[in-house]
Structures are given as C-alpha cells and as structure tokens.
A and B are shown apart, each in its own frame.
Chain A
C-alpha cells in the first residue's frame, strides 16, 4: 500500500471511531429535541456519568459487564429524574426556559460528580486488550471495533423501535403533532420521560465506550456534549439519520484536520462546523427545510 493511502486510512479509522461516539451523543440530542423541542445541554453529563460510574464500580472490584450495567442503569435513572423533577413540572414553560434548566442540571451534575467522585482523570481498561489489529497497513484498536459494533447495533435497534413498534411510532407521532398525539390518547408526558431515559442510555453507553481511549473525568461531558451537539446540527436537529451521518462526518473532519493541518485545531473543528452550518445551511443535511412550525 502506498504510504499516503495508509495514512489516509489511519485518519479515517480514527475519525469514524470518534464519529460513532459523536453520533450516539447526537442521537440523544435528537430524541429529546423531537419529543419537546428542547436542546438538552445535560446530554454531555450523561456521557460523563457513564464513564465515571463505570470507573467507580470497577474500582470497587466489580466485573466490567456488571459495572457497565450499573453505570447505564444509574445514568438512565438520572435522566428520568431530570425529566420528572426539573422538566415535567414546568412543561408548559417556553423552550428557552427549559433549555436553561438543562444547563443548570448539567452544572449541578458536574458539581455533584466532582464532589463525590473527585476531580482526577481515570482510564478504564480496554474491553478486549490493547493489541492493535492490522487493516491494510493501518492499525485499529480492538476498542474501536467495540465502539463501531455497539453503535451499529444501537442504530439497528433504534431503527426497529421507531419503525416497527407502536410505541416507537407514538413517539414519532408526538414529535410531528403533539395535539393529535394527545387526542389519540398518547400520554405525551410519558413520551418525554421515555425520551430522556433513552437519551441517558445512549449517552452513558457512549461515555463507557470512549473512556478506555480518552480516559474519563468529571468534565469530559462538556466537550463530548458540544461535539455531539455540533454533529446533531450538522445532520439536522431532530433527524436520526442526520445525527448518525453528522457524527461520522464530524469525526472524520476532525481527524483529517488534525492529521493534515495541525492537531492543535482538532477540538476547534466542532466550533467551525457549528458556525459553518448555522451560516450556510441552518437546517443541516437532513433537517426539515423552511420555517419551524409553531
């Protein structure tokens, strides 16, 4: 293989790996946005909690599968409580108020984590060791395969849920027409609760999968949340397909930018993407065109 090709392949592999994580976070944004038009700025904290709680449970001598289950369960509980205690009571407030509440919740969750679990950086062990695998001259870590495989499985499960189950369709229906959904007897508060639970689930899984690569820390949610948000905007807020494509694209843009320009700019790419999308195509790649319905 020509070295230039191997180099490009290497960048692409690392791009889709982080891109898959961004896609999971972006899907979390999309779920809640569709159910409520709220951009949940606590999405990144779900990611952080997933990694941090897994680390705590591991450090208590609990096996990895159980620790993962525990962390996912606890993060989902946090998501459900956030909806029940902070969002639902003020459900009829305007969207900006609700968004500010999620920002407050994010700050609270970060603070609570730093107080209870400390401010240190923790690395999780890779799920299947650190022996790099060879792919046409480039290398890929087993953890990347975990990330890509798990993300693919989740995307498949979400696809089945939203296209082949009545509950999934009820969630879609609620996002398209809340009034009609209520008139059909759909409990839209439950839909909102469910979307927070699902978003927390996706966030936690993303945080657990990435922690062996980037390590975890009480503040990792800020950057990962922001990148997931950038991915969601790039794909078009509220579009599931957009979240996935946006995530992968952002990961690749970052990795190519870091590889061919300078790694100093890696984290700046997300901001450039957000600004670029807002200026050039506000509805993103797969978003609804035209004005927002009221």
Chain B
C-alpha cells in the first residue's frame, strides 16, 4: 500500500472545495432541520389527535425509510416538481433538513416530556399561562437536556451528507469518488475523505461537550 502523494496533491484543491461544501450543506441542514423539527415536535405534542396525526405520519415516514431513498425522491421528484429542473445542492439540503427534522422533533418532544410534571403545575399554580410556563420554566430546562442528543444528530447529519455524492452535489465524497474513478486508486481518496469527516465530527463533538460543561456549571 504505497501512497501516491503526487495524486493527492493534485486533488487537494478539490478536497478543500468539497469539504467547504460539506460544511455548508451540513450547517444549512442543521439550522433548517432544527427549526422545522421544533415545529414538527410541537405539532406532534398537540392534544388534538387530528392535529398531531400528520406530524406523526411525517416522523414515521422520515425515520422509517432510508435517507438514500429520500434524497432520490427529493432530487428527481420534489425539486423538479417545484422548480422545473433539479439541483444537487438544493436537493441535498432539502432532503437532509426534512430527514433531520424528524429526529429533532423526537428529541424535542422527549426533552420536554422528560421535565417533571410538577414543574408545569408549579408554574401554572403561580398564575402563568401555558405559553409563559413553557417559555420560562419548561423549555430552558428541556433545552439543556436536548443538547447531547441534538449533538449526536448533527454528527450523524455531517456523515450522512456524504450521500449527496449520489446526486452529484460536489461535496467531499463526490471528489473522493471522482479521484477514485480517474486514477483507479482506492486508499488515497477514501482515506482522505474519512480523515476529513473525522476531523469535522470530532471538532463538533468537542465543541458540544464544552457547551454542555458550560451549561452544567450554570
């Protein structure tokens, strides 16, 4: 297993570009997925079964089908349906956001439901309405508990963004495959990609554990 450093040097600019796009895809999808996920989570917690049903179906669908299938559906189905033509990056962001929203929704719901019901009762008994009790008492406590599982979800999302290579979004994995295709080399492109993913996910988990510690001392 001799490494062809010259080929790696040649492909370095592409890996840099790919890494930047991977980061971009991930950040966009994390943000959109979280916002959308909060909304879905709230919907699922609605008392009225008729209101919560569509949110339940959404969560079941996106957690119960492969992300690859979802990406293909969005890329070849949803995006052309709306914009007439497709676009790999756009489709990747949409599919990753929709998918992670389902997981975020469940994290959100579990976080809120993990708070002792005495907290809500104490807040209400003091005259707070439901929204005030949520905002000042329940959510601040729930968010703290949601950070570790959300962090896991973000890490999964970074890794899953590699599936976007399938629909020719020119992220990290796309360039890895391009290099493999051009030079029939295996170790150089794939180990490089693996290493870069590792750096990304590891940095994120460092960042999150620091945030967690910061919140814990408060």
**Interaction A to B:** no
